[in-house]
Chain A
């Protein structure tokens, strides 16, 4: 990966964000290359969700830069940001499916809003996207009728429906059983291969990170403390990283 692909798709520089007097991000630096799968690991509450919501413009940071294809996005107005968002698809932690709409309407939402395609064409497209994530005959179900794993798949289908260049995954394997989690991991790898997207996933599931990442970055105390290939992370001399990847409760990371 390294050297072969050197175009930077997303660059985060010295990003700061706090809520009240709670500093969540304290100078995050991160580079994501075109076509790579970056996984950000970190404990619960470490600010992973805040970081990707900054990248897609849902949260405005106090300081720092975020560049997407070279364009600085933290100072854009709502309309400009809306254009940038068309490059992105996002899978939310609990799916965030629209519960008043059927599955196919969820998947086809972007097409309905932004194109003039007929209902049949949208539905057909939605079925194709659902097939891509391994689902069929679910078009007419309501989100409340789906299991946790299916919700994530539908949400993924919705995220890829507009053929984005960048996919963001918020805890793709959290809250579902290990077999389903592994199936989601496979899907994420497939998405990269089939759709040639750049992706950022955030997770505290280290097993999932090893499986889907080209590179892994660890977020700790508001900063990225280490970036490297899965192999490099596994063998990192950094005691914080070691403790996290081995899942030990004793070590430099204190549990409150």
Chain B
């Protein structure tokens, strides 16, 4: 929490470490992209299958497109992306900062008159904050395409009807609320993971502990906050 406040404080003190931010954006974006694509694609597909089975019982098969789009944008896009990026990048950040701590690289930054919060944490924080919503947009699109694929190719739904159902009932607020969640999740996972790495103690074993803790805590916090953000926006 203190780290979060200090990080916010340093964000507004120029000069920003542009080079580091770009590097981290690339790390977060590029490295997480495949995981996010696979997760979102298959989730969209399974959503289509499941909701089709359900809706068929009261003859509303054409609503599958709506349900996939709403679930992806409002809920599954941001939550699954948040969890996947926690696993992919949260662990990487904790491991990297933890290694830097136990090998005295963080001390070395201080001795070179550079504040490690500004140099290491702010770039990771900003990069995650920026990249997570972008990944969520990809997740939404790919999830919807996955649902489309299953509905049209396997379940034989009319393609134009599927898209009409998707667009007609999708509102901008659905997209926004998902992206707002993504921003929060980004802050949560970057702060927790960086904190765990930064405060690592006890050699290689400590780095392992910090990494595990970063993923578990970020994931749980994301799930808990997800409920409250949803309840607040409801």
Binding site for B on A (CB under 8 A): 53, 56-58, 78, 82-83, 85-86, 88-90, 92-94, 96-99, 109-110, 113-114, 158-159, 162
**Within the complex, what minimum Cβ distance (angstroms) separates A47 from chain B?**
16
Asked whether, in the complex, the Cβ of B111 is within 8 Å of the Cβ of A93, the reply is no
Asked whether, in the complex, the Cβ of A94 is within 8 Å of the Cβ of B103, the reply is yes
**Within the complex, what minimum Cβ distance (angstroms) separates A125 from chain B?**
14
Asked whether, in the complex, the Cβ of B107 is within 8 Å of the Cβ of A113, the reply is no
> Given known contacts A96-B108, A98-B108, is B103 in contact with A110 (CB within 8 Å)?
no
**Within the complex, what minimum Cβ distance (angstroms) separates A96 from chain B?**
4
In the bound complex, what is the Cα–Cα distance between A109 and B17 (angstroms)? Answer: 13
- Output the residue of A88, A89, A99, A113 with the most chain B CB within 10 A: A113
- Output the residue of B107, B110, B111, B113 with the most chain A CB within 10 A: B111
Q: Can you name 8 extra interface pairs (CB under 8 A) apart from A98-B100, A109-B114? A: A56-B111, A58-B110, A90-B111, A94-B103, A94-B104, A98-B108, A113-B114, A162-B113
In the bound complex, what is the Cα–Cα distance between A96 and B104 (angstroms)? Answer: 5
Q: Which of B208-229 contact A (CB under 8 A)?
A: none
Asked whether, in the complex, the Cβ of B113 is within 8 Å of the Cβ of A85, the reply is yes
Asked whether any CB of chain A lies closer than 8 Å to the CB of B199, the reply is no
- Report which of A82, A89, A92 forms a contact with B107, defined as CB distance below 8 A: A92
- Report which of A57, A82, A90, A114 forms a contact with B108, defined as CB distance below 8 A: A90
Sample (29) of A-B pairs whose CB atoms are under 8 Å apart: A56-B110, A56-B111, A58-B107, A58-B110, A78-B115, A82-B115, A85-B110, A86-B113, A89-B111, A90-B108, A90-B111, A92-B108, A93-B104, A96-B103, A96-B104, A96-B105, A96-B107, A98-B100, A98-B108, A99-B105, A109-B114, A110-B112, A110-B113, A110-B114, A113-B113, A113-B119, A114-B113, A158-B108, A158-B112
Give me the 8 closest cross-chain CB pairs, A-B, nearest first. A96-B104, A96-B108, A90-B111, A110-B112, A92-B104, A85-B113, A113-B114, A96-B105
Contacts of B110 in A (CB 8 A): 56-58, 85
The B interface, classified by DSSP as helix, strand, loop or mixed, is: helix
In the bound complex, what is the Cα–Cα distance between A95 and B110 (angstroms)? Answer: 14
Binding site for A on B (CB under 8 A): 99-100, 103-105, 107-108, 110-115, 119
Contacts of B99 in A (CB 8 A): 99
**Within the complex, what minimum Cβ distance (angstroms) separates A215 from chain B?**
24
In the bound complex, what is the Cα–Cα distance between A90 and B115 (angstroms)? Answer: 16
In the bound complex, what is the Cα–Cα distance between A60 and B5 (angstroms)? Answer: 22
- Report which of A58, A83, A99, A109 forms a contact with B112, defined as CB distance below 8 A: A109
Contacts of B114 in A (CB 8 A): 109-110, 113
Among residues of B, the one whose C-beta sits closest to the C-beta of A111 is: B112
In the bound complex, what is the Cα–Cα distance between A64 and B107 (angstroms)? Answer: 22
Asked whether, in the complex, the Cβ of A88 is within 8 Å of the Cβ of B115, the reply is no
Contacts of B113 in A (CB 8 A): 82-83, 85-86, 110, 113-114, 162
Among residues of B, the one whose C-beta sits closest to the C-beta of A93 is: B104
Contacts of B119 in A (CB 8 A): 113
Contacts of B115 in A (CB 8 A): 78, 82
Among residues of B, the one whose C-beta sits closest to the C-beta of A84 is: B113
**Within the complex, what minimum Cβ distance (angstroms) separates B216 from chain A?**
26
In the bound complex, what is the Cα–Cα distance between A99 and B98 (angstroms)? Answer: 13
In the bound complex, what is the Cα–Cα distance between A93 and B108 (angstroms)? Answer: 11
Among residues of B, the one whose C-beta sits closest to the C-beta of A98 is: B105
> Given known contacts A85-B113, A86-B113, A114-B113, is B108 in contact with A53 (CB within 8 Å)?
no
Contacts of A89 in B (CB 8 A): 111
Among residues of A, the one whose C-beta sits closest to the C-beta of B108 is: A96
In the bound complex, what is the Cα–Cα distance between A88 and B113 (angstroms)? Answer: 9
In the bound complex, what is the Cα–Cα distance between A92 and B99 (angstroms)? Answer: 15
Contacts of A57 in B (CB 8 A): 110
Contacts of A88 in B (CB 8 A): 111
In the bound complex, what is the Cα–Cα distance between A90 and B108 (angstroms)? Answer: 8
Asked whether, in the complex, the Cβ of B111 is within 8 Å of the Cβ of A85, the reply is yes
In the bound complex, what is the Cα–Cα distance between A178 and B5 (angstroms)? Answer: 48
Contacts of A53 in B (CB 8 A): 107
- Output the residue of B99, B107, B113, B119 with the most chain A CB within 10 A: B113
**Within the complex, what minimum Cβ distance (angstroms) separates A58 from chain B?**
5
In the bound complex, what is the Cα–Cα distance between A93 and B102 (angstroms)? Answer: 12
Among residues of B, the one whose C-beta sits closest to the C-beta of A79 is: B115
**Within the complex, what minimum Cβ distance (angstroms) separates A196 from chain B?**
20
In the bound complex, what is the Cα–Cα distance between A246 and B6 (angstroms)? Answer: 50
**Within the complex, what minimum Cβ distance (angstroms) separates A228 from chain B?**
29
